[in-house]
Structure 1
Amino acid sequence: MPAPVLCRLSLALGLLFCLPNAFAETWPSTDWAVATVPTSPAISALEAYAFPVRDDESRKGVRTDALLVIRDGQIVYERYAGPTEVSTPHLTWSMSKSLLAATLGVAYGKGLFKLDDPAAKFYPPMAQHPEIKLGHLLNWASGLAWQEGYEYAPVKSSVVAMLYTRGRADMAAFAAGFEEDAKPGTRFRYSSGDANLLAAALRGMVGEQAYGDYPWTALFEPLGITSAVWERDAAGTFVGSSYSYLTARDLARVGLLMERDGRWGEQQLLPKAWVDFNRTPFANYQPSEETRGDAVPGGQWWLNMPVAGSAKPWADAPDSTFAALGHWGQALYVLPEEKLVIVRYADDRDKTYSHNQLLKLAQAAFQEGK
C-alpha cells in the first residue's frame, strides 16, 4: 500500500506540497498502541485452535506459548500461556536466521558487502570454497553436504553436531569444513550451517570492535527493542541459526519493519532492494517430495508463493505472505495486504500444528472491517 500523504500549504510560494508522511501511520514508541478487538466467534475459533487444553507431560498437540497480532501498527490481540509472559524473551530457534538477515540488511545498506561477494572475502576459512557467495548462503544454496535433521535423525544430523557436540566450539568453522556435493547456487538445501557462516562473515564486514554490539546498534536499538539476547559460541560468533531470544512484542517490531518495506518511521533502516531480495524466491528452487508443501525459501525468510508449478504452501493466506519460522512452531508471519503481523511462540513437538490453519483463522478474526 502507498504511504499516507501529508500536504502543507506554502503561503510564501502559493504552492501545496504533498509528501509521504510516516507520522500519519501508527508506530510503536516505548510500547505499542493497543486497540484490542472485541471478542467474537472468529476470535473464539482462533483461540480454540491455538490454545487447546494443554498436556505438558505428553507434549502432544498444539501448544502455543504466546500469540500476538498487530494490525496497522497496533496490538489488536495478545494472549500468553505460562510460564511465558509479556516480558519473557522466548527462544526463537530458527527465526534467528531472519533476524540475522535483517541485521545483515543494515550492513548491506551501508555498502559493506554485495550479494555476489565470495564468503571467503569476509570469513577466511571459506577459502576452501571460493565459489560460494554470500547470496548463496542467504538462499540456503551453498552446495555444502549438510544434513539438517534434528531429533528424528540425531546420528546423521549436521545441526545437532554443530550446536551440541563436535562443532559447538566454533560453529562457522565446523560448517566451513563440509565438502560440496552440489555447485553453489544450483540447489536449495536448508542449512543452519549456512546461517552461521553468514554470522561469521558479518564479523569480517563490520570489524571485531563493532561486531559484539552490531545486532543492537544496527537493528534492535533503532527499532526500540530492549529484550534481545543473542548467544555466541566459544569462538565469539553469534549463533545466527538458532539462539536469539526476544519478547513477542519486540519480535513484532521486526515484522512491522518488514511489512513496511524496511522503513521505520521516517528512516529507511533496510534498503527496499534488500527487503525485495528477502521476499524473492530462490531462483533455482525446485520442490521435492521432501519439501513439497513447505514454505518457499527466499533470502533467509520463508514465502507463500506458488513456485515451479506447485500450489502455494498456505492456501488460505495471500501470496504476498512471508514469515520467519523456527523449530517447534515458532513463527513471525507478515501479511502486507492485510497490514497484519502475527507472532507465535510455541512448543509443538508432534507436527500437528498447521501454519495455514492459524493464518486462516487469524484473517477471519482480524481483517480490517471485521
Structure 2
Amino acid sequence: MLGKMVRGLFLAMLAVFAGLLAWLYVAPPELLLVGDSYSAKIVCSNRFIAGRDPAEVMAVDVQAPGHPLLKFVSAVVDEERKTVTTRIFGFFAESKAAYRDGLGCTNLPRGYDLSALSGLPQGPQALPKPSDIAWPAGDAPLADGDARPELAAPLADGKLLGPGIRAVVVIKDGKLVGEHYAPGFTKETPLLGWSMTKSVNAAIAGRLMAEGRLSFDDANLLPEWAGDERKDIRLRDLMGMESGLRFNEDYGDVSDVTRMLYLEPDMAGFAAGQPSEAKPGTTFRYSTGTSVLIARIWMNRIGDFGEATAYPQKALFAPLGMTSAVLETDVTGTLVGGSYLYATARDWARFGQFLLQDGVWNGTRLLSEEYMQAVRTPSRASGGLYSGAQTWIAGPDDKPSSAYGLPEDTIWLQGHDGQTVAIIPSQRLVVVRMGLTPSKLGWVPQPLVKAIADALD
C-alpha cells in the first residue's frame, strides 16, 4: 500500500515537472526571453561586427556582469547564415539575432525568422580608410613623434583607467596624441557605445535640420499622436528628454526599455504608444524610447526607406571619416538610435572632435549654430544634467565637471557600462574611454580625464 502511494506521488511530481517543462518551452516567461534575446544580440554583434570570439563574448560580456540566470544561457553561432541562437538551459526561450552587412545584427522577436529581414533595404557599403595616413583622415599607427610622453603615466594607471577597460583615445588640438588598448582590443575593434548612440542619432537629425527638412519646433511628429495631446510634443521636447511621455528605463526586470529592445519587433511603435503623463517641456525623463522615436521621425522625413537607411553614412559618418560606424536596426528596419552604434574608439573620438569644433568639419558647417547651442545648453527641466541635443552637461555621477576640477564647458557622451566621451572645448581636448564597467563598481571617468588634462597642460 505504502509503495503504491509513493509511486503515485512520484508519478504526480513527474507529471507536474513535465508540465512545467512544457510550459517553459511553449510559453516561456518574458524575463527568460529578454535574457536570451539580449544574449543573442550581444554575441551576434560582437562576432560579426567586431570579429570577437563568441564564447569569450558570452562569458565576459554577457554572463560575468549580468543577471545570474544568464549563466545558464547557451549560444549557437551559424557562421554561414550569420545568425546566433540562444536558449536557457539549452532548450527554453529560444531567441535569435541575425547579421546584415552594413546594418549589424537585429533581434528576431518570437514568431519572426530571417524572412522578416528579406524585404528591408541593404546597408551601405563599407568605406575604406587609409592605413598610412594620420588621424583623422586615416588610421595610421600612432607615431612616436605624435605620442605625448606625458600621457604614459595616466594611460598605465589601472585605477584611473577603471575595471574592464578596453580602449582610451586622447585628442589634443585636433591631433591624436595617445591611446591605450586592453589585450584583445585594437584601434580596429568596433565597440558598442550604448547610450552614446543617442548623441550621434541626434546629430543625424541635426543634419536634416541643417538641410531645412526638420526643425526643433516641429510638432505633429507621428501619425499615432494625431488624435490626442501628444500631437503637441515638439522635436525640441524629445531632444531634451522632456516629452512628458511615460517610459520605465529600469534594466533590472521586464520594463519598458527591456521590452522595447528585446521583445518588440517595432521599437518606435512601442515607444510611440506610451501615454502622456506630463505637459511637454515640464519634466525630465531619461528614455531610450525617446531616442528611437527621434530616429523614426527623421527617417519618416526622408521618406524613402532605402535612402533613410543610408543617410547616417552619407550625411555624417562618411564626411567625418567614421568608416567603422555601424548603426543597427530593429526588425522593421528602424535604426535603433538609442543604443546600437558600434564604432572604433578612434571613430568615437572623431565624433567628439566634431562637436568640439562646433559642428564644423574640414571647414564645412554640418550642424547649425542653433543645434550646437542646444548641445551646450541644459534642457529646461533636467536641472542642469542634460542638454537640448542628447548630450550630458553633468558627468556620469550627475555631478558638475567642476566638482572634479574640470572646466565648466565640459560636455559628455555617456553609455552603459562605462562608455564615455569627454569634450572640453576650452582645452581643445577629447578623451574617449570604452570598457565593460558596471555602475555598481562605483568607477567614474572624471579623475582619468582630469589626469590627462593636467598632463597635457
TM-score, length-normalised on structure 2? 0.65
Alignment match of 1:266 (pick from 360, 363, 382):
363
Q: Secondary structure of the residue that 2:420 maps to in structure 1? A: strand
- The amino acid that maps onto 1:39 is P
Q: Secondary structure of the residue that 2:157 maps to in structure 1? A: helix
Contact 1:252 1:342 in 2 (8 A): yes
Alignment match of 1:143 (pick from 229, 244, 248):
244
For the pair 1:327 / 2:416, whether they are aligned, the reply is yes
- The amino acid that maps onto 2:320 is L
- The equivalent of 1:31 in structure 2 is 139
For the pair 1:162 / 2:260, whether they are aligned, the reply is yes
Who wins on radius of gyration, i.e. which is larger? 2
- The equivalent of 1:192 in structure 2 is 288
Contact 1:304 1:318 in 2 (8 A): no
Structure 1 residue 137: Cα displacement: 0.6
Calculate the aligned-residue CA RMSD, in Å: 2.2
1:1-370 pair list within 5 angstroms: 28-31=136-139, 35-40=145-150, 43-49=152-158, 62-118=163-219, 120-121=220-221, 123-127=222-226, 128=228, 129-150=230-251, 153-155=252-254, 157-165=255-263, 167=264, 169-208=265-304, 209-286=306-383, 295-304=385-394, 314-349=403-438, 350-367=440-457
In the aligned structure 1, how far is the partner of 2:400 from the partner of 2:340? 32
Deviation readout 1:63-105 (Å, 9 max, x if unpaired): 2100000101111111111322110111110010001111111
Contact 2:194 2:341 in 1 (8 A): yes
Contact 1:304 1:319 in 2 (8 A): no
Check 1:243–1:339 CA distance in 2 against 1; reply closer, same or farther (3 A cut).
Answer: same
Structure 1 residue 313: Cα displacement: 6.6
In the aligned structure 2, how far is the partner of 1:286 from the partner of 1:260? 26
- The amino acid that maps onto 2:370 is A
Q: Secondary structure of the residue that 2:353 maps to in structure 1? A: helix
In the aligned structure 2, how far is the partner of 1:130 from the partner of 1:94? 26
Q: Secondary structure of the residue that 2:430 maps to in structure 1? A: strand
Structure 1 residue 51: Cα displacement: 6.8
- The amino acid that maps onto 1:257 is F
Q: Secondary structure of the residue that 2:187 maps to in structure 1? A: coil
In the aligned structure 1, how far is the partner of 2:342 from the partner of 2:414? 14
In the aligned structure 2, how far is the partner of 1:235 from the partner of 1:311? 39
Gaps of 5+ in 2: 1-133
TM-score, length-normalised on structure 1? 0.80
Structure 1 residue 286: Cα displacement: 3.1
Gaps of 5+ in 1: 1-25, 53-60, 288-294
Check 1:351–1:108 CA distance in 2 against 1; reply closer, same or farther (3 A cut).
Answer: farther
Check 1:144–1:131 CA distance in 2 against 1; reply closer, same or farther (3 A cut).
Answer: same
Contact 1:304 1:320 in 2 (8 A): no
In the aligned structure 2, how far is the partner of 1:242 from the partner of 1:313? 28
User: How many residues are matched?
Assistant: 315
Structure 1 residue 312: Cα displacement: 5.1
Contact 1:62 1:352 in 2 (8 A): no
Structure 1 residue 28: Cα displacement: 2.2
Q: Secondary structure of the residue that 2:171 maps to in structure 1? A: strand
Deviation readout 1:343-366 (Å, 9 max, x if unpaired): 111100134211321221121222
Contact 2:214 2:298 in 1 (8 A): no
In the aligned structure 1, how far is the partner of 2:422 from the partner of 2:383? 23
- Give the % identical residues: 37
- The amino acid that maps onto 2:411 is F
Check 1:352–1:46 CA distance in 2 against 1; reply closer, same or farther (3 A cut).
Answer: farther
Contact 1:171 1:193 in 2 (8 A): yes
In the aligned structure 1, how far is the partner of 2:271 from the partner of 2:312? 22
Deviation readout 1:90-144 (Å, 9 max, x if unpaired): 11100100011111111110111111111x43x3223342121111110011111
In the aligned structure 1, how far is the partner of 2:191 from the partner of 2:182? 12
Higher relative contact order (CA 8 A, sep 6+): 1
